[in-house]
Chains A and B, each alone.
Chain A
Amino acid sequence: MSSQSSRRWVTVLGAAVSAVFLWVAVRHIDLGSVKETWRTARPLPWIPLAMAAYVVGHFVRGARLRFLVRREAGLQVTTATNVVVVGYASNNVLPARLGELVRAGMLAERTGIPLTQALTVTFIERLVDGVAILFLLVGASWATHTAGWIAELARVGALVFGVALGGLGLAVFFPAALGALASRLSQPLGRRAHDTAVALVTSVVNGAAVLRRPVDALVIGVLSVVVWLCESAMFVAVLPALGLAPSPGMAVIAMSVTNLGILVPSTPGFVGPFHFFCSQALLAQGVASETALAYAVLVHIAFYVPATVWGAGAMLWYGVEVGATAALARAARRSRGVESVGGVPMQIIAQLAESKKEAEASAFDLALTEAILPPGGSAEVTRDSARFLAGQIAALPTRVRTLYGIGMSVFRFWVRVRYLRSFCGLDLERRRAAVAGWAFGTIAPLRQLFRAPRSTVLLAFYEHPAGLATLGAEERRRLPVATTTPDEAHG
């Protein structure tokens, strides 16, 4: 079957599953009443609060992903969170939970770990999610005395996740045996297949290794529970929007049932299964069917919108970055002729603009330099020091330079408010006082801001003959020049 044909079948199957669930969810419901329920709903502040809880949950998921791969890669929490959210956003726009593959692919791209290992990590995440959800569901059912089909669902879920956990346990606790098994089973298939199988199993084992230490497994478990408590908070926050009491037990049950339900691959955004399971969970707790469906729709909005918008932004950001790399590689294929530079053959791709010239000191640089330098220096040494400062600041990485620029803008604004004049318009004494207040004050970030100008300007000043002269030095630095013979000077 071609990949295009596979995609079509996945889409059709997902749509069919969704249609069935949607039909079952709404078949006995008076849609007019649902409309009326929405009309009387109070979205503020509940829906934004629900979205905020959901977003916090994603950051906890990011922290968990970072922890899961920390032996293999040093992901930052923001990057890890973006990987998670891109997965969620992809599930919102792709059918049949294909977002899980996107998430694993992006994890592999960001960290360099093999795709199979990234898939294993994604599988572990989903597995511990399932266990955490079941844990919360059982707790909430017990607390609210909910039984019937929800208890049955919990039992089925426990069976499914128990089997999966058992499989994972093999990879965690018997990695060598698993490797040997893969090797033995794949040997008859030839060397290539054997090596591929062993590499695959090694990747899976490496991905699962994080669960080997009980403390690590516990951390992952706790983080998972926190993730789903945040998601439960989203479900709680929507209840008052429809005039329902914010019952944590009800919300946890709705959250658990909904999330277990949408494990079924369906259409993009789980439209259908989400609404069915969410509303059924509320119905089981005595909520009217129209209100339950209205609730499901509102929760789905809180679930769908932030992840999709955030995920789209993250995909755009990383897409631009990866695309730029790919574009450069593509550009490298278009040669405009060969040149030999220093005896090395090169395919010329493009002519480039001339390098940037040395940065010139601004009036602010000069005023700042004067305020930092000790008295007694000539105008020349002050100017040279300011030029050196400007060059050094221009050489900083853009991110650091931007932070420096923002910090100095705040400083100049503060000066204007404090002295009612611009920094450059102040007399030298006041400029010195303003700089000293920040550069040597008690607030660490302000001191850090002035660290670069303070040290570069002082370095330039005392390396300058005129600056050195202010110390009353009798001799200059370069004593050995007088004792160097021309032969030595040229090696």
Chain B
Amino acid sequence: MAEAARQRTEVLVVGSGAGGAVTALELAAAGRDVAVLEEGGEHSTDDYGKSSPDAMRLLYRRRGMTPILGQVPLGYVEGACVGGSTEINSGFWHRTPREVLLRWHAQFGLAHAGVDEMAPHFDWAEARLGISKYDGEWPKSTRMFARGIEAMGWAYQEVPRAAPGCRSTNACASGCPIGKKRGMSHALWPTAREKGARLVPHCRVHQLLFERHRCIGVLAEVEVEPGRRVLARIDADHVFVCAGPTETPALLRRSGVKFHVGETLRVHPMLKVAARFPEIVDAHQSVLPLLQVKEFWPDVSLGGAFFTPGHLALGLSDNWPETADRMPRFRNMASYYVAVRGEGRGWVRPSKLGDGATLIHYDVGPGDLKNLSQGLARLCTLLLAAGAEEVLPAVRGMPSITSEDEAIRWLDEPLPKANLSLTTVHAFSSCPIGERSEKCAADSFGKLRRYENLYVNDASVLPDSPGVNPQGSVMAFARRNALHFIDRLS
């Protein structure tokens, strides 16, 4: 009996990102026996801040090659390392807006998730991550953006970030080399370990194992030492799947859990532009622009994007014959985006070809196209008002917009769908939670329907688009759900 007890873990957490790290920390702090299985590796800050190709090899899922297919393919990336996508995002922080919580309650029957009920969880996460505004003079790319917003008279905000003391290394997307941006590996893992949580990196979970309606553990491929990989069964009393918005539904479906799983993927489709200013901006040497235009929220947000010469070339590549000659002036350029709430719908499926890949599909909705078109018109107008000589959108056949007249055309006309190069870094809602069983995979606290001890607790649980950067919502919901689980256990 004692032998059997030693061979089981009380709670297995699959994934160590914003959802998994919070879950592990809270469970460990409550004295629970917790182990976290992470597909990617564990890295120190010495490994961070490398060039984009190196960072993609090291920190990104499938080296950043996880396209979302559909009528308009979307470039999509997520982290695959200890800390997950929090290691490679910009650290922007938003609380879930009140109207979104109200909508989730009305449409999904999401219980106990009002503003007041969520507030302590946001407070906790904000304290852990040191959420704050930039504490120096805004970088030039931000100042240019502010100039444009003020010229237009639109509402905006400087977005707080999980990067106290940010030194503007412009390495958010390749891991902060000085540890100022507080990804989960830096902000939560040390404490979680102190509290007793154990972490197994390079451990890819293939399948959940069941006995009737009870998950009894997982089957995983583990690198037990460098160069030695084994297939292992890891037994557990409870399992939290926190592998992210695409891998969580893929794992569940691969394991036969399909009810409302992976059917309702939502994303924030994003269209990037590069703006060329007469003066030197040196956006490649500073943190990305810190402001977001809120005038058109929740349908449309305008903001600043990560910028390096390589990313600039990537953005210009749709019209490369016409735009390649802008590259030598990269110091005068910066990147911005228009992001829309995402009215389309997608799905996630495990590949049937045995390659362990996940197939992701999303159809950009007509509302998305309209919002992207109008958003592009407004963003270009803003940047031209800020003094940009031209704006170069990632739209084939539209190499450069140099006047407001050209820009406002897109207020009334839809952009040509086939010519868009869209991206996204925000995906969610692939296993929505709520009490409405006809549309939710799990109850209001992430327990999967029909299973006694199986939970989801990451971005996939958000019932639909939060309309803002989702890290805050993911962490707050993860803590709420973890504490509820602990309460139930006790």
Name A residues whose Cβ lies closer than 8 Å to a Cβ of B: 71-74, 109-113, 206, 209, 321, 324-325, 328-329, 331-332, 335, 338-339, 341-355, 374, 388, 391-393, 395-400, 436, 439-440, 444, 447-448, 451-452, 454-455, 458-464, 467-468, 471-473, 475, 477-481, 483-484, 488-491
Contact = CB atoms under 8 A, between A and B. Distances in A.
Given A329-B207, A458-B320, A349 B259 contact: no
A338 B7 contact: yes
A243 B65 CA distance: 59
Contact of A397 (B62, B229, B321): B62
Given A331-B219, A346-B230, 17 more contacts: A111-B258, A112-B261, A325-B207, A325-B256, A345-B235, A346-B220, A349-B219, A351-B229, A391-B57, A397-B357, A448-B73, A451-B421, A458-B320, A460-B53, A477-B308, A480-B170, A490-B46
B355 A74 contact: no
A461 B46 CA distance: 23
B153 interface: no
Contact of B260 (A72, A455, A480): A72
User: Which 7 interchain pairs have the tightest Cβ spacing?
Assistant: A112-B258, A397-B357, A112-B259, A491-B179, A463-B310, A346-B232, A458-B313
25 contacts: A72-B438, A74-B347, A339-B230, A342-B200, A345-B234, A347-B234, A351-B229, A352-B229, A352-B230, A355-B229, A392-B65, A440-B321, A444-B419, A454-B317, A458-B317, A459-B314, A460-B53, A462-B312, A467-B309, A473-B330, A473-B331, A475-B285, A480-B171, A488-B180, A489-B178
A109 B256 CA distance: 8
A472 B314 CA distance: 19
Nearest to A355: B229
B282 to A, nearest CB: 8
A111 B441 CA distance: 12
A315 to B, nearest CB: 15
A488 B198 contact: no
Given A329-B209, A344-B198, A477-B309, A459 B53 contact: yes
B352 A321 contact: yes
Interface in B47-67: 49, 51-53, 56-57, 62-67
Nearest to B261: A112
A467 B421 CA distance: 24
Contacts of B210: 329
Contacts of B231: 331, 348-352
B62 A489 contact: no
A491 B186 contact: yes
B404 interface: no
B206 to A, nearest CB: 7
B199 A342 contact: yes
A395 B230 CA distance: 22
Most chain B CB within 10 A, of A325, A391, A454, A463, is at A463
B219 A332 contact: yes
Contacts of A347: 7, 232-235
B453 interface: no
Contacts of B230: 339, 346, 348-352
B439 A71 contact: yes
Contacts of B56: 392
A436 B357 contact: no
B18 to A, nearest CB: 19
B227 A354 contact: yes
A471 B314 contact: no
Contacts of B201: 342
* Contact residues of B: prevailing secondary structure: mixed
Contacts of B219: 328-329, 331-332, 349
A345 B317 contact: no
Interface of B: 6-9, 35, 37, 45-46, 49, 51-53, 56-57, 62-67, 69, 73, 167-171, 177-180, 186, 198-201, 203, 206-207, 209-210, 217, 219-222, 224, 227-235, 254-264, 284-285, 308-314, 317, 319-321, 324, 327-328, 330-331, 347, 351-355, 357-359, 396, 418-419, 421, 438-439
A491 B178 contact: yes
Contact of B233 (A111, A332, A483): A332
Given A341-B222, A448-B73, A459-B313, A110 B258 contact: yes
B320 A463 contact: no
Contacts of A348: 230-232
A395 B63 contact: yes
A13 B120 CA distance: 67
B358 to A, nearest CB: 7
A458 B326 CA distance: 14
Given A342-B200, A345-B6, A399-B351, A461 B57 contact: no
Given A392-B65, A471-B327, A346 B233 contact: yes
A397 B355 contact: yes
Nearest to B256: A325
Contact of B309 (A350, A388, A468): A468
A9 B48 CA distance: 70
Given A110-B258, A350-B231, A397-B62, A461 B7 contact: no
B486 to A, nearest CB: 20
Given A349-B232, A488-B167, A455 B53 contact: no
A444 B209 contact: no
A357 to B, nearest CB: 12
A344 B234 contact: yes
Nearest to B263: A74
A351 B310 contact: no
Nearest to A343: B198
Contacts of B309: 462-463, 467-468, 471, 473, 477
A467 B312 CA distance: 13
Contact of B67 (A398, A400, A463): A400
A335 B217 CA distance: 14
Contacts of A328: 206-207, 219
B353 A399 contact: yes
Contact of B63 (A355, A374, A392): A392
A448 B317 CA distance: 12
A386 to B, nearest CB: 12
Contacts of B203: 341
Nearest to B7: A345
Contact of A332 (B209, B262, B314, B358): B209
B32 to A, nearest CB: 14
B308 A463 contact: yes
